[in-house]
Structure 1
Amino acid sequence: MKEGIVLTLVLMLLAASVRSQAQSSGCWTKQQEQLIFEHVRAFPEQTQMAYAFIENGAVAFSGVIVESDTMRLVDNHQKVFEIGSISKVFTASLLTALVVEGKLSLDDPVNDHLPFALRDSIRPTFRQLANHTSGLPRMPSNFDAAVPFDPANPYRNYGADLLEAYLTTQVELAYQPGERSEYSNLGTGLLAYVLTQMTGLDYQELLEKYLFSKYNMIASTTRRKEVTSCLVSGLDQSGKATSNWDFSVMVGAGGILSTTEDLAKFALAQFDESNRELELTRLPTFEVNEQLAIGLGWHIVKTPAETELYCHNGGTGGYSSSIVLDTDRRNGVIILSNVSAFHPESPKIEQLCFSLLRTINQSLKEQ
């Protein structure tokens, strides 16, 4: 009973504070405040969420933190979170940057760029790795063979030697390539590994050369030691501090750390019609059903209003994230959080992202 009273009072204070911001940013509304409150209250003490709201190309930031059964506003747009599988969009963007440079074609098999032969002479293409149609399983079957295997940091010791051993002696396709699209961390991890092999640059160097420097993403990295001072601590599913994840050879599947400020810059670049390499990532390459298609990295959701939304979520042991963009309207929402992907309510973050974008689109429709 006490908690309910406190939360109600805090909601009133939050609403008053946020309304004062809304007058200057034009982004917050009463409906958005209520949506945020309803979703955040499901999460434990010290939960932190950072938001970027993009409306017609203009960006506003806000954030909340749960403390002592209350929620308060916090300025965290420059705070760093693990973004998990949103990294896959960046890996696909590296691929298309190299395509635009003429260094490869999407339908080239990756075999020629690997220092070993794949078992059974399978020949996945760059496109198939980027849109999850390669037939590769979600994870390699020898994933837990890493020594030691740490469930709190599961990718840490899965190195290139284990990936090579799997691909040369154990890999089995789950279905015929191109037959369907099934999400594969292995596929995107392999894609990033191939790109490093063919360029001679490691994944971080590729990101810096083609993406981070181009879009002034100064706080984004795969090297956690570089951002320790502004890193938000991850929480496990019970709300206790937990280990960060080190992705080793699978870094392209989920190893980037970033801020809402940096991701908003990357989102705004998606609205630039002259940006060929980013446009390539958003072109549909496989239709799952009438409501969902797959680009390169992006999932493409087709709405009843015939608008296409480009989205991806991410999750690690201590973080959950989501990004949804409406490029036609130049709108979007980005949420970063230290909610564990294993928390039973973590899907609420992606749900909130879509709901907040709907409020922005609806607001513009009513103007």
Structure 2
Amino acid sequence: MQFADHEIQSIHKVTKAFSPNTELAVAKFEAGQCQYYGARHGNKGVEQIDNRASVFEIGSLTKLFTNAVLAQMVFEEKLALTSPITSYLDLTIANNEQITFKSLATHTSGLPRLPPGLLWQALFKRKNNPYQAYLEADLLAHLANDIKINRAKKHNYSNLGVGLLGYVLAKIEGMNFTQLLQKRLFEPLNMSRSFCNWRDVHGELVMGLNKRGDPTENWDLGVLQGAGAMLSTVQDLGQFMKAHFDDIHTWARLQRQVLFKQGHIQMGLGWYVFQGDKQSDTVYFHDGGTGGYSSVMIMDVENRAGYIILSNISGMHKLKGQKVTELGFELMRKLKGF
């Protein structure tokens, strides 16, 4: 089960569309078996490389891991999805608002996409590392005083929400977020090259590129690590995808269960779910982006198939969604014969 010519051509086409030093690492699952392909835009065009063990920021794919921990803790009866987070942690939330674990996981809490003031930081003061200075004291102060809950819109994608979820889960377990993922996912799934801080990376860390194609800083997520702090490899992320295929992990089954529907939007715990007429048509998806990287994970559990794409294409690039995210869907459609 090698990469087909059309897959390689599609990967090269995307790589070539961006600046020199652009790099894509791709993992492909078919019938549960995994293969890897890497491409880099070099001085002489696009060349094949072996970057399966190279480390990239994965951005919002981190949310899948935060929600996997949530699913584990639900099965261990350490918490209930429908319970308010204030039932497990001494938090003050403005107007005594009730925010449940389920609502944070499915982006239905009514929380804004970003904390108050962070957009200004991102645009002007800390545009190369916008979350760096947003720490625990800021989060607690904003929850108590400044947070505006919007109940009018049922689904509102929120980095603040999933960042808060990761913070609460770690506090309940009495450890920091890095320790939480290390204990519950990285070690059990043998993900030895996955990290929550770029300073901890051992091995090759691929240099992130900004939207102009120039080297850029790695991100620090401050207190909102659960929303997007992870760095990993396609090899390690393949272990996470394989855990969904193995059907031995109760947490994985819960994570894929559809818990929210609104029009064409369906969500499990972190996963966006696209359902066709048959069970075999169901696809689970998420993508991610930071200032220097973008990523995609898409899988068909019934047929044990899927793709993981990591790149150093900026998540701020105007073509990121059209090129990187769409590449994941294009490869998946062709693999499934659509």
Interval containing the TM-score (normalised by the shorter chain): over 0.9
Q: Residue 207 of structure 1: SS of its match in structure 2?
A: helix
2:270 is matched with 297
1:34 aligns with 2:1: no
Aligned amino acid, residue 39 of structure 1: V
Question: How far off its partner does 1:231 sit?
Answer: 0.4
Q: Residue 238 of structure 1: SS of its match in structure 2?
A: coil
Aligned amino acid, residue 29 of structure 2: I
1:261 aligns with 2:235: yes
User: Structure 2 matches for 1:242-281, cutoff 5 A?
Assistant: 242-281=216-255
Which consecutive residues of structure 2, in runs of 5 or more, have no partner in the other structure?
Answer: none
Corresponding residue pairs, total: 335
The counterpart of 2:84, out of the listed 106, 109, 124, is 109
1:317 aligns with 2:298: no
User: Structure 2 matches for 1:1-367, cutoff 5 A?
Assistant: 26-143=1-118, 149-175=125-151, 180-289=154-263, 291-303=264-276, 307-347=281-321, 348-362=323-337
TM-score normalised according to structure 2 size: 0.95
Q: Distance in 1 between matches of 2:255 and 2:273?
A: 11
Q: Distance in 2 between matches of 1:279 and 1:64?
A: 33
TM-score normalised according to structure 1 size: 0.88
Q: Tell which deviates more after alignment, 291-300 or 54-63.
A: 291-300
Aligned amino acid, residue 310 of structure 1: Y
- 8 Å contact kept, 1:137–1:184: yes
- 8 Å contact kept, 1:42–1:345: no
Question: How far off its partner does 1:69 sit?
Answer: 4.9
Which consecutive residues of structure 1, in runs of 5 or more, have no partner in the other structure?
Answer: 1-25
Q: Distance in 2 between matches of 1:73 and 1:266?
A: 25
Question: How far off its partner does 1:145 sit?
Answer: 7.5
Q: Residue 65 of structure 1: SS of its match in structure 2?
A: strand
1:14 is matched with none
Q: Deviations over 1:257-306 (max 9, x none)?
A: 000000001101101223110111110011122x4311110000124666
Q: Tell which deviates more after alignment, 205-214 or 81-90.
A: 205-214
Q: Distance in 1 between matches of 2:237 and 2:23?
A: 17
Q: Tell which deviates more after alignment, 139-148 or 199-208.
A: 139-148
- 8 Å contact kept, 2:66–2:166: yes
Bigger Rg, which one: 1
Q: Residue 324 of structure 1: SS of its match in structure 2?
A: strand
Question: How far off its partner does 1:196 sit?
Answer: 1.6
- 8 Å contact kept, 2:11–2:39: no
Q: Distance in 2 between matches of 1:241 and 1:253?
A: 23
Percent of pairs with identical residues: 37
- 8 Å contact kept, 2:197–2:220: no
Q: Residue 336 of structure 2: SS of its match in structure 1?
A: helix
Q: Residue 98 of structure 2: SS of its match in structure 1?
A: coil
Question: How far off its partner does 1:34 sit?
Answer: 2.3
Question: CA RMSD, aligned part only?
Answer: 1.8
Q: Residue 117 of structure 1: SS of its match in structure 2?
A: coil
- 8 Å contact kept, 1:146–1:157: no
Q: Distance in 1 between matches of 2:121 and 2:137?
A: 10
